[in-house]
Each structure stands twice: as structure tokens, then as C-alpha cells.
Chains A and B, each alone.
Chain A
């Protein structure tokens, strides 16, 4: 019998704490597969955010530091400056990266900090049980926008990945989605590309992954995946916004 499927070495054997239907597990697996394929596990230091993915340090089989809310890119900077030969990635949610940590992510990109960022955008605060995120859609109901997000009162969703693509120090900036198999494959290709940027010392790389949160969206897992496609993608278009290794038009294929 031949082995056709196994746990990536870069994932630990712990059962994750994520809710049924949450796509964090898929994102973890993709990251771990790419770490294995690029042979990076033994030189990797990951940075866990504050949010649902704070326990990432338990689920990856690599060194990890857990950072204060939003500060993962600053922590990553400190690590990478001490250990330039190591592989450093942050794994951050939308509240962590696009609200409280806005300054840190923008300046890490602007410095061209040679780190990689996995950005999970599920348009809601998961761990604190469903409050508005910077990426919450207009009209989306959350526990702090009970009547739906009214932009007159609560502002608009933030497309921070497009902003990061403007940073001269950014080498690779892409947005992908985890709502079906084809897009999961594209997500993996983008993560591979992003991680290679760091290995090749090209500078900052980020992959945004549109993700589901059935629990706090009040949907079944299947409905949630559909909602990514019907409601999130129109606001957060998929594509590669920057790739220093080739000329790309904004919104091009990942």
C-alpha cells in the first residue's frame, strides 16, 4: 500500500479548537504543506495573533511566539532582524491586522521587512463572539452592528490588502479565498509564492485568505462558504495586487 495522504510535518498532532465549518483548519494545513514543501519547518518561527488563531502555536509543529494584539508584524520584525536566515511568518485575523494592528502591518510592508503574512479575513471578530470587524460588510449583522453595518455610523469595510500593494517594500500581495477546492488550490499557490519571496530575500509578502465563520455569521458551513462567494468576493476581489517577479495588472490571477 502506498501512502497518498498524511499530516504535514509542520502541523502538530493536536486537535484544533476551531468551530465546525471554520476555514482556519484549511489555512493551517496549506501553510504547513508549503513549509514542508519548501523545507522550511526547522528554520521557521511563526507569530500567533490575538484572536481565534492565538492557539496556532499549538497547532503548528514549528517554533512560535505569541504576540500582543495587532503587533505580530513588529514581533516578526524583531525576530527577523536577529535571525535573518530564519523563516518568519505571522498569522493574523482581520481585527488583529486591519484594526488594532494597522500601523504595524503598513510599516512592516513599507520597510520591505522580509517576512510573510497570512491574513485571515472572515469579516467578523470570532474569538470575542461576533462583533464588527474592520472588514465587516455594509449591512452585515454583528453583535455590535445589530441592525447591520451602517456606513454612516460604523464606516466602510477596509480593503487593506490593496493598500499594502502600494507599499514600495511589498514584494508579493495577493487575495485568495478558501470557499471551494479550486480556490483552495489557488490559495496554496499564492502562499507558496509569498513564502518563496522571503526565501529569496525579496521583501514583504502577504496573502489574504477570505474565510468563513459559520458560528458568528449564524449560518451552516455550506451557507457560509456560499456567502464568501456571493457577498464577500464582490467587496474583496480576488487576485494578485503585486508581484515583483512579474508585471501584473491589479486583479490578475493569483
Chain B
């Protein structure tokens, strides 16, 4: 095992992408993810790759479309307003079943918003974002090491399903430094690339296309996509349960917020209160079955987010009324504090407030 290195989240993700086989990067600067393109501009040429700063987010995502269709292992990264600009291209990429990786280091919105961490792009990430019936594989790491691990497998995952993978981080994950060990990468998993447009030499021409004017054709294409999404839902659910074995109340949170929630649990457990954390790692596919199972043996759930309430809808859909699902959220770039979450949790537990809100 290699020695851990202390590295910033954004740079770690960029390095992990290269180690995971990424050779092409197209992007446009936006805070708080600028260290990703900056790192890529230095490192990609060293491994024979290409970094290109596009004229816009729109151009960048369409370069990703072309590069993926030409068989390249390609990614882009951005933050909330920039990801909004990419949505049309992401819809095309999903429709054309092109593998690629997209990183969103989420900042507060709506509009130009702010540059501090947020989780307010959950709907956009998990509901499609662009037009049409499509899904991205959405992964929400809660630390730099996990971001590295997920990133290193992201290109294989994208190619396995010919589907875009979205790494949904936030400004905190991108900006903080943590010790990281880069795992060994065995090289790309063998995939069938008989769809790549690289010149019709000795074969019939291939077309990468998303236009299907015949409604029957388009319906069949949608059914094919849905069948793929069903396979992904079956195979790619990832989540972590923290002290849930005997828990009566469970906090549900992902990413940075989940770390604060774990810390709340660590604080409250010694007081004899049976609390735990359920942390979705794959946000789509959402871990609805394990969460539903867990809901069957707890008194209630408290969803905590850096948003005004987005993932809580998936939590409620998963639990389907079995137990009350409470919500606590902060938006705008504020991270819920341990004291705030603890107070809300104690309120949910029907106990008097246990702190002064600090």
C-alpha cells in the first residue's frame, strides 16, 4: 500500500480520474472546482492526454460528446450554474448512450448563487436535469478518499453501461485537504466498443444519433434505456449504515452533511440514545430497498441536507409512509452544524432541546 498523501479534494479527484484511465478533459472555469481543470492542464499532457479549455460549458459538454463517440475516456467538471448550462448536452449524451464522467462541485443556488458548498443540485442530478426520460449514475462521496475511490472506478462504470456518471460533490469536498491513498488501478475493464465512430475502414458506417422521428422507434429506444436503468438499479446501489444495528432514530444524509451527522451520532450515543446514520452513496440509483428495510425497525428518520429539502423526497418515497420522515436543511452555502442537527434530532425524538444551538 502506498503512503498516504495530503491532497485537496479537487486535485485528488483529477489525479484519480487520470489513474482511472481518463485521457481527455474539456471544461470551463468556475469556482469552487477550478483546481480540477488546472490540475488536468498540467497532468494530462504528461500521460499523452488532452486538456482543452472550452469557450463555454455548452461547448465543453459537446466536446465530451464528440470525444466519447470517438472512443476517448473523457470527462468534464463544473459547478452548479455551469452544470445547468451542460444539461442539453448531458441529455444528448445519455440519449446516445455515450460513456463519460461529469463532476459537479455543488455551490449554493439558485441563479448565480454563491460559491460556498451546497447540496441543492440533487434534483437536477437525480431527476435528469435536461429534457427527456434519462438517468445518470450519480455518486455522492463524503470525503476525499471516497471521492478518489469512486472516481477511479467511474470510467469503467460509465463504459460498462454506456452511460454518463455524475460525481456529485460540494464546495467543501473540493476545497478541503485530507490524507489519501491512491489505490492500484488494474486498467480498463474490457468493453465492447463496436459503436465508436472512428472511420468506416473495412466496415459499414456507424452513426451516433439521438434523432428518432418515428414515435415507435423513439419509444423502443426509451424502453431500451429503461431496461438499462433497471440493470443499473439492480447492480449499482451503494450506501453506508453507521450504528444503525440497534438504532431507533436514524439520520439520513449524503456527502459532507453525512459527516456532520456521524459526528452527531458519536456525540449522542454515549448519552444512551440509540441513533445512527444511513448514508446513500449512489444517489441514483437511490438505495431505497435498504432504507425501506431499515425504516421497518426504527421510530423515525431525520433527513439532513445542505438544501431546502430535495433528497428527503427520495427518502419519503423509499419509506412509503412506514415511519415519519423529518427534515432539517440549510441552504445558501451554510453547512448544518452538529448542534443544529442534534437539536433537531432531539426534537424529533420528543426530548427537550439538548443544546444552545452552537
Contacts and interface: CB of A to CB of B under 8 A. Distances in A.
Interface of A: 12, 41-45, 47-48, 54, 57-58, 60-68, 71, 74-83, 86-87, 103-104, 106-107
Nearest to A103: B55
B202 A42 contact: yes
Interface of B: 24, 26, 50, 52, 54-56, 58-60, 62-72, 74, 88-89, 92, 197-202, 205-211
B207 A75 contact: no
Contacts of A104: 55, 58-59, 62
A193 B208 CA distance: 28
A86 B199 contact: yes
Nearest to A113: B52
Contacts of B201: 42-43
Given A62-B200, A82-B24, A82-B72, A103 B66 contact: no
A210 B69 CA distance: 31
B62 A65 contact: no
7 tightest CB-CB pairs across the interface, nearest first? Answer: A78-B66, A78-B67, A75-B66, A74-B62, A82-B72, A71-B62, A78-B63
Nearest to B72: A82
Contacts of A76: 66
A66 B207 contact: yes
Contacts of B69: 65, 75, 78-79
Nearest to A72: B62
Contacts of B211: 54, 66
A8 to B, nearest CB: 14
20 contacts: A62-B199, A62-B205, A63-B198, A63-B206, A65-B66, A65-B197, A65-B208, A66-B210, A68-B88, A71-B62, A71-B89, A74-B59, A76-B66, A78-B24, A78-B74, A82-B67, A87-B199, A103-B59, A104-B55, A104-B59
B209 A66 contact: yes
Given A43-B201, A62-B205, A78 B92 contact: no
B121 to A, nearest CB: 21
Contacts of B72: 78, 81-82
Given A57-B207, A63-B198, A71-B58, A78 B89 contact: no
Given A45-B70, A77-B52, A78-B64, A63 B59 contact: no
Nearest to B60: A74
Nearest to B199: A43
Interface centre among B71, B89, B205, by most chain A C-beta atoms within 10 angstroms, is B205
A236 to B, nearest CB: 25
Contacts of B26: 77-78
Q: Which of B62, B74, B200 has the most CB of A within 10 A?
A: B62
Nearest to B206: A63
Contact of A61 (B67, B205, B208): B205
A101 to B, nearest CB: 9
Scoring A41, A42, A44, A63 by chain B CB atoms within 10 A of each residue's CB, the highest score goes to A63
Contacts of B68: 78
Contacts of B54: 74, 107
Contact of A42 (B59, B200, B207, B210): B200
Contacts of A48: 209
Contacts of B88: 68
A63 B89 contact: no
A65 B198 CA distance: 10
A137 to B, nearest CB: 29
